[in-house]
Chains A and B, each alone.
Chain A
């Protein structure tokens, strides 16, 4: 980069990423991988997170409104290496995609999208369905969280999610974020039919537990869903 990205460019890039993601879902395999490479270029340009002020512009809301939603936990934030609270671009993109679908209607669209998301998350996560019936002493809470997460992913698994997981493995290899041993194991699994992948993602075995510790299926659930799941498992473990 010879200069930093301006605020307007950030907004345009994030809007483009959201539109490209929507287009990817409708496209055939060949077109999809071409759209994906353009999307990834934009994602690298923008970086993983943006400041709340930029997020408010992208979502078309005031900064106090955004802050209210962040404080209520309706919009996820993460802490950056410099200690600031920022909004993940993936969160903005998923909100924008939903906003684009409701845009034609009247009222305050973001509020409605968030309400809808809350309703879905509450209905969608039936924690008892996602966990082993009997909890043995060997199960640690993070292992149960990863199991519940992947069982939910398995229910939604399709070719596109598998392809995205493969792409993420390639990115991680380039960035040195995954040990070659685990990259190979995941590649081997992702070459299997969807039903088999779903079976291993949901398996409560030693080998599957170790595999799920470094999973290319991160980011498949929205941050809101993921946090709800994590809390639900913690609550169940404490009871």
Chain B
């Protein structure tokens, strides 16, 4: 998304842009997401939740997002929900195909199947993170690797490598990621959203050895539980549910309905350890990575920085390639893609 946004904004400002898209289609991981673009309602809450993140970058995204969403709407991107459905956040839910089309119409030339390469003039790195590279995940997010991939396959650290080759520094939180616990079975792109087992807050979570590993309160995004799951043996967990848990609702579905879709649901007596009292059903889940949270260090003009804090001339990073925004917690990756895409374009043109 960040690359398309940057190109659309560059052209709106009267300059030229070319998008090199490694994949077979534009839209990156945004196209596969539930496409809610949001910020925390309260600045204090964002700071409390993502305490390890760069405050200036957080401020940039938080302050510019509402205007940036209006800009997206002005391009004709279809809104499917004018509100996020979460009282802690403010934003809108777009229709991902329509949003991609609206951006593609404005982005100008898009070369599909064309990986990142050296170009003359300013370059915006927007390759979507390094979750698609087993090697990079193993190096930075260990001991979590290997994780199931819940993202497009092309975001494999091309931006990170290109930035490092030009002397870039890494951001904080290189070992953190955003993801969901998915059924521990094969799933397709179309199942990324509907199969997400987003009810860990109602379940008791055990690892393969029967150890209950997350006794505290799960955060609303459940990203803390997912990262903890990634660090258990095999990156797996068992969600054990009682009758009351099955009746809970998450958005428009009950937990029972979500469990019914999971191919790895079993009766309690099939668990590899003694079932806790009251258990009705258990689901074997595996941590799946949607995008990395660490990446290249940037400033609030999206310029890639060296270790000494100076900016690398003409090099920008936007979206997931830019790290250190949601460190310690979780904030909308699409919001960072949108705002940093705009910011990089504006700085590059001026």
Binding site for B on A (CB under 8 A): 79-83, 138, 140-143, 175-182, 206, 209-210, 213-214
Contacts and interface: CB of A to CB of B under 8 A. Distances in A.
Interface of B: 41-44, 59, 62-63, 66, 70, 73-76, 81-87, 90
B89 to A, nearest CB: 9
Contact of A138 (B43, B70, B74, B85): B43
A227 B83 CA distance: 24
Given A83-B76, A175-B82, A182-B87, A210 B42 contact: yes
Given A81-B73, A83-B74, A140-B43, A176 B81 contact: yes
Contact of B74 (A80, A140, A210, A214): A80
A140 B82 contact: no
A85 to B, nearest CB: 10
Contacts of B76: 81-83
Nearest to B67: A142
A109 B265 CA distance: 73
30 contacts: A79-B70, A79-B74, A80-B74, A81-B73, A81-B76, A82-B76, A83-B74, A83-B75, A83-B76, A140-B43, A140-B59, A140-B62, A141-B63, A142-B62, A142-B63, A142-B66, A143-B43, A176-B83, A177-B82, A177-B83, A179-B86, A180-B87, A181-B87, A206-B42, A206-B44, A209-B44, A210-B41, A210-B42, A213-B41, A213-B42
B254 to A, nearest CB: 18
A180 B86 CA distance: 9
A179 B42 contact: no
For the complex of A and B, 7 pairs with smallest distance between CB atoms:
A181-B87, A79-B74, A177-B82, A179-B87, A210-B42, A140-B43, A213-B41
B42 A209 contact: yes
Nearest to B42: A210
Contacts of B87: 179-182
Contacts of B42: 206, 209-210, 213
Given A175-B82, A214-B41, 14 more contacts: A79-B74, A81-B76, A82-B76, A83-B75, A83-B76, A140-B63, A141-B63, A178-B83, A181-B87, A209-B42, A209-B43, A213-B41, A213-B42, A213-B90
Contacts of B86: 179
A82 B105 CA distance: 13
Nearest to A206: B44
Contacts of B44: 138, 206, 209
B56 to A, nearest CB: 12
A182 B43 CA distance: 17
A199 B86 CA distance: 27
Nearest to A83: B74
Nearest to B62: A140
A83 B42 CA distance: 30
Contacts of A206: 42, 44
B65 to A, nearest CB: 10
A180 B84 CA distance: 11
Given A81-B73, A140-B59, A179 B83 contact: yes
Contacts of B59: 140
A82 B78 CA distance: 11
A85 B84 CA distance: 27
Nearest to A143: B43
B64 to A, nearest CB: 9
Contacts of A79: 70, 74
A81 B74 contact: yes
Contacts of A140: 43, 59, 62-63
B75 A176 contact: no
A50 B179 CA distance: 44
Contacts of A179: 83-87
B90 A214 contact: yes
A148 B70 CA distance: 22
Contacts of A141: 63
A214 B75 CA distance: 24
B247 to A, nearest CB: 20
A15 B161 CA distance: 62
A76 B174 CA distance: 46
Contacts of A143: 43
Nearest to A142: B63
Nearest to A85: B74
Contacts of A176: 81-83
Contacts of A209: 42-44
Contacts of A82: 76
Nearest to B39: A213
Nearest to A139: B43
B149 to A, nearest CB: 32
B90 to A, nearest CB: 6
A209 B44 CA distance: 10
Nearest to B73: A81
A185 to B, nearest CB: 9
A214 to B, nearest CB: 7
